[in-house]
Structure 1
Amino acid sequence: VASQSIVLLPPVKKPTDIFTSCEKNEQQKPSSPKQGDFSDPVYKEIAVANGTINRMNRDELRVKCAELKLDTRGVKDVLRKRLKSYYKKQKLMHSAAANGNTDTYFDYICVVDFEATCEENNPPDYLHEIIEFPMVLIDIHTLEIVDSFQEYVKPVVNPQLSEFCVKLTGITQKMVDEAETFHQVLKRAVSWLQEKELGTKYKYTFLTDGSWDMGKFLHTQCKLSSIRYPQFARKWINIRKSYRNFYKVPRTQTKLICMLENLGMQYDGRPHCGLDDSRNIARIAIHMLKDGSQLRVNECLHSGEPRSVPISAPIEGAPAPQTPKKRD
């Protein structure tokens, strides 16, 4: 694909800084072109690279990814996005004269995928109770899964699991009968997060596969257990939205299995096992980060309902987890 090759330009030399008397007292870092400021010449270079990438077929995209030691798996749209993100990152780094600087908003991302009680045909007023509480921790700097947490939870409103629920989740009646209530499990989950120094020493946020985990399951469970909804779980990354917006795909291609397949991966484990689901969601998140996605918080809980967080909202990590408190 010699005709389609893209040549990186040498780093842009930073002009000599001219400080005013006030500015001399402050140490300033070289800044990259501001988001939305497309007058910078570097964006013309990015546009030229994007045009070349758009004209490549899948085989050419894979060859170019291999040359750059990038992942060669995935459908054409994924490969194209991977290359574009790579060149954009390189151009902006050169323009800012930065050394390995990346837009890392968090130190850790905590993936959560609850399993809850269910019937084959849930009635409209059915109360889903959490029966598995898993968390998988991603180190953003190493792009690796570094730890996990899992406990089963004893349901109270519907203590007897349906045959459908057992078959779907693989969680048996014995597992939940021997488990503790949600309040006790949440306490240990908080202790686990605190041991990692999340929200104190390290910036972190939560990530889910859709809106239901926080907006439905956790919110409902806290009400049933007479617990105040935890502040640290009020904002999260909905990876389905992030995936759809980053790779420019329709909503129908954002189911877990579909996202994995489009990235050239297979599901690893047992579907609807909360811990296995969380690990596979984490694998998708890691691939997206490697492809250049920034994975910003895009949803929050507002008045008991999940709401979208605008991209213009300030970037914040989740607050330090606190021991769950009972409702008054």
Structure 2
Amino acid sequence: MEVDRGVTLSEALLRHDKWLEKKGIKNANFAVVTWSNWDCRVMLESECRFKKIRKPPYFNRWINLRIPFSEVFGAVRCNLKEAVEIAGLAWQGRAHCGLDDAKNTARLLALLMHRGFKFSITNSIMWQAAERSLIWRQYPEQPSVYPYCPFKAKDMNNPIIPYLPYCYCGVKSCMNVIRKPGPKQGCLFYGCGGFSVTRGPRCHYFEWVST
């Protein structure tokens, strides 16, 4: 398998940083672009903290391409592959393959740039020294919320129109609630939509439900 011949996360981040420096990008005004917030807000952040890897600071602010896409094509709920096709492009490669997803994200970004869309940072995370906690910031569309427990079921006073993002299986995710006693009890999150009692989740998709 390709992943068996890959490098560690720390090595990949180091190589990426050196590549940015070689291309003269590292000290320029640039931004990381992703489809959804999961890659930077959850996956990379949690992996670096768990493995005690120093993460380059430019990963703490990014452009969630879902937002510009929605402004251009309307508030359509879709995954990356569907977005590429809605934009009139043909999907290239295999869905949920990291490299192919990145290439198609770049193609969609280029199309929006060609249409004259003016991009700006949509989301960021930052350390708050006084509380030693991580603050999740989304701007300017929505107010800032905390990343690890942004919404609790017990705080719901009004019915919510269900929004179910797509997981890595390509199907709609399912909404769950943390039942284990603790600070996150009652928090809502999205999980793999291909979950089964016998086999468990088909992919490791995870995202907190935000207001």
Q: TM-score, normalised by structure 1?
A: 0.38
**Stretches of structure 2 lacking an aligned partner (at least 5 in a row):** 127-132, 142-211
Residue 228, structure 1, aligned to residue 67, structure 2: no
What RMSD, in angstroms, separates the aligned Cα atoms of the two structures? 1.9
Aligned to 2:140: 310
Task: Tell me how far apart the structure 2 counterparts of residues 287 and 247 of structure 1 sit (CA, whole Å).
Answer: 12
1:22-56 deviations in Å (ceiling 9; x for gaps):
xxxxxxxxxxxxxxxxxxxxxxxxxxxxxxxxxxx
Aligned to 2:21: 194
- Identical-residue share of aligned pairs (%): 28
Task: Tell me how far apart the structure 2 counterparts of residues 176 and 282 of structure 1 sit (CA, whole Å).
Answer: 22
State which structure, 1 or 2, has the greater radius of gyration over its C-alpha atoms: 1
Task: Tell me how far apart the structure 1 counterparts of residues 88 and 8 of structure 2 sit (CA, whole Å).
Answer: 39
Per-residue deviation at 1:304? 3.6
Aligned to 2:107: 283
**DSSP 3-state at the match of 1:203:** coil
1:88-108 deviations in Å (ceiling 9; x for gaps):
xxxxxxxxxxxxxxxxxxxxx
Aligned to 2:163: none
| Greater relative contact order, per chain length (Cα 8 Å cut-off, separation 6+) | 1
Per-residue deviation at 1:191? 0.7
Task: Tell me how far apart the structure 2 counterparts of residues 309 and 236 of structure 1 sit (CA, whole Å).
Answer: 11
Aligned to 1:296: 120
Task: Tell me how far apart the structure 1 counterparts of residues 16 and 138 of structure 2 sit (CA, whole Å).
Answer: 26
Instruction: Select which of 18, 41, 58 maps to 1:215.
Output: 41
What one-letter code is carried by the residue in structure 1 that aligns with 2:60?
A: R
**DSSP 3-state at the match of 1:267:** coil
Written as runs of structure 1 = structure 2, the 5 A alignment for 1:118-157 is none
Q: TM-score, normalised by structure 2?
A: 0.58
The structure-2 alpha-carbon separation of the partners of 1:275 and 1:300, relative to structure 1 and needing over 3 Å to count, comes to: same
What one-letter code is carried by the residue in structure 1 that aligns with 2:20?
A: L
What one-letter code is carried by the residue in structure 1 that aligns with 2:56?
A: P
Task: Tell me how far apart the structure 2 counterparts of residues 177 and 280 of structure 1 sit (CA, whole Å).
Answer: 24
Bigger fraction of residues in helix = 1
Per-residue deviation at 1:306? 4.0
Written as runs of structure 1 = structure 2, the 5 A alignment for 1:1-328 is 172=1, 175-200=2-27, 202-250=28-76, 252-253=77-78, 255-302=79-126, 303-304=133-134, 306-310=136-140
- Preserved CA contact (<8 Å) 1:211 1:306: no
